[in-house]
Amino acid sequence: MPKLSLYNRDGEQVDEIEVQASLFGAPLNKGALYQTAVSQAARRRQGTASSKGRSEVRGGGDKPWPQKGTGRARHGSVNSPIWVGGGVTFGPKPRDYDKTVPKKMRRAALRSALSDKYNEGKLVVVDDYALDAPKTKQMISMLEQLKVDGGALVVNALPDENVIKASRNLPKVKTILARQLNVLDILNHDYLVMSREALEQVEEVFGG
């Protein structure tokens, strides 16, 4: 079975733990990763962009000038898309961007993403974050001690206000609960930092 080093918040190894091979020893499935990431990114789109067509623009009921005799090009309405202030041709309308992906594919993608972090040595398990105050300096210090020098997805089993508030001012750090773990967030961060309880919950919920 794959093994992971268990660290304390000072970056010292305190134990070595075995993890499920099904979650952290899965082969890389690029197709499932791509389809799942695209699906999740699509669901995050609001889809509320809207423009007016020529029939929706206010006014423009009268012909701007006679058809003949003026020497100018013929026009039937100032709402025409070729006029400034007119309607938009093929403009965006509210729509649903949802893309459905089978549950088995989502699970395969998550296993692949976790295994990839494990293989790259960018999966860090901490015995306990143990932040005694919601201070950003403490979070920065902990990540430095753990040698996490890039974007980090910090995973906890239960909501921890100190961890959440200490991380929210760090642009490359995001906190998430274990049960909310997803492929897109894993791919968008260089490191995956998990508490021991979060790791156990991930194995319980997503393992098999």
Reported as a single tens digit per residue, the pLDDT across 95-139 is: 999 999 999 999 999 999 999 999 999 999 999 898 989 999 999
Q: Does the predicted TM-score (pTM) go above 0.75? A: yes
Q: Where are the domains of the chain?
A: 3-29+101-206, 46-96
In this structure, the strands spanning 191-195 and 173-177 are unpaired
Reported as a single tens digit per residue, the pLDDT across 26-61 is: 999 999 999 999 999 999 999 999 999 999 999 888
Q: What is the pLDDT of residue 48?
A: 96
Which of 115, 132, 184, 126 has its CA nearest to residue 154?
Answer: 126
Reported as a single tens digit per residue, the pLDDT across 164-199 is: 999 999 999 999 999 999 999 999 999 999 999 999
**Measured distance CA(188)–CA(192) in Å, rounded:** 10
Q: What is the pLDDT of residue 150?
A: 87
Residue 101's SS3 state is coil
In this structure, the strands spanning 3-7 and 13-18 are antiparallel
The domain defined by 3-29+101-206 folds into Ribosomal Protein L4; Chain: A; (3.40.1370)
- Residues 72-80: what's their mean pLDDT? 94
What is the average pLDDT value for the chain, to the nearest integer?
94
Helices (H), 29-135: 30-43, 103-120
In this model, does residue 208 exceed pLDDT 80?
no
**Measured distance CA(125)–CA(93) in Å, rounded:** 45
User: What is the DSSP track for 54-79?
Assistant: TTTSS---S-SS-SSSSSSPP-S-TT
User: Tokens standing for 2?
Assistant: 């794959």
